[in-house]
Chain A
Amino acid sequence: MDYNQVKLLQEIMEVGFALIETNLYLDTHPTDERALMLHNTHSRKYNDLYNRYSSKYGPLTYTGMSRCPWEYIQGPWPWEIEYEKCHWD
Chain B
Amino acid sequence: MWIYEKKLEYPVRVDSCNPTLASLIIEQFGGADGELSAGIRYLTQRWTMPTNEAKGILTDIGTEELAHWEMIGTLVYKLTKNAPVDKIKDTPFAASYANHGKSPFPHNAAGVPWTATFINSKDDPVADIHEDMAAEQKARATYEHLINLSDDPGVNDTLRFLREREVVHYQRFGETLRIVEEYKDSKKYY
Write the residues of chain A forming the contact surface with B, with a CB cutoff of 8 angstroms: 9-10, 12-13, 16-17, 20-21, 23-25, 27-30, 59-63, 72, 77-79, 81, 83-84, 86-89
Contacts and interface: CB of A to CB of B under 8 A. Distances in A.
B77 interface: yes
A17 B60 CA distance: 13
A16 B17 contact: no
Interface stretch (B1-9, B26-34, B120-128, B138-146): B1-9
A9 B12 CA distance: 13
Contacts, number: 93
B176 interface: yes
Nearest to B15: A84
A62 B8 contact: no
Contact of A61 (B5, B14, B73, B84): B5
Of the candidates B52, B64, B78, the one having the most CB atoms from chain A within 10 angstroms of its own CB is B78
16 contacts: A13-B7, A13-B8, A13-B9, A16-B5, A16-B7, A17-B9, A20-B64, A28-B57, A28-B179, A30-B53, A63-B3, A78-B7, A79-B12, A86-B17, A86-B81, A88-B17
Contacts of B179: 28
Interface of B: 3-17, 52-53, 56-57, 60-61, 64, 70, 73-74, 77-78, 81-84, 87, 154, 168-169, 172, 175-176, 179
Given A21-B168, A24-B172, 15 more contacts: A25-B172, A27-B56, A28-B172, A28-B175, A28-B179, A30-B53, A60-B6, A61-B5, A63-B3, A78-B70, A83-B11, A83-B13, A83-B154, A87-B15, A89-B16
B82 A86 contact: yes
A81 B8 CA distance: 10
Given A10-B11, A79-B73, A84-B15, A72 B154 contact: no
Q: Which 10 A-B pairs have the closest CB atoms?
A: A28-B175, A27-B56, A79-B74, A83-B13, A27-B57, A60-B6, A88-B17, A78-B8, A83-B11, A84-B13
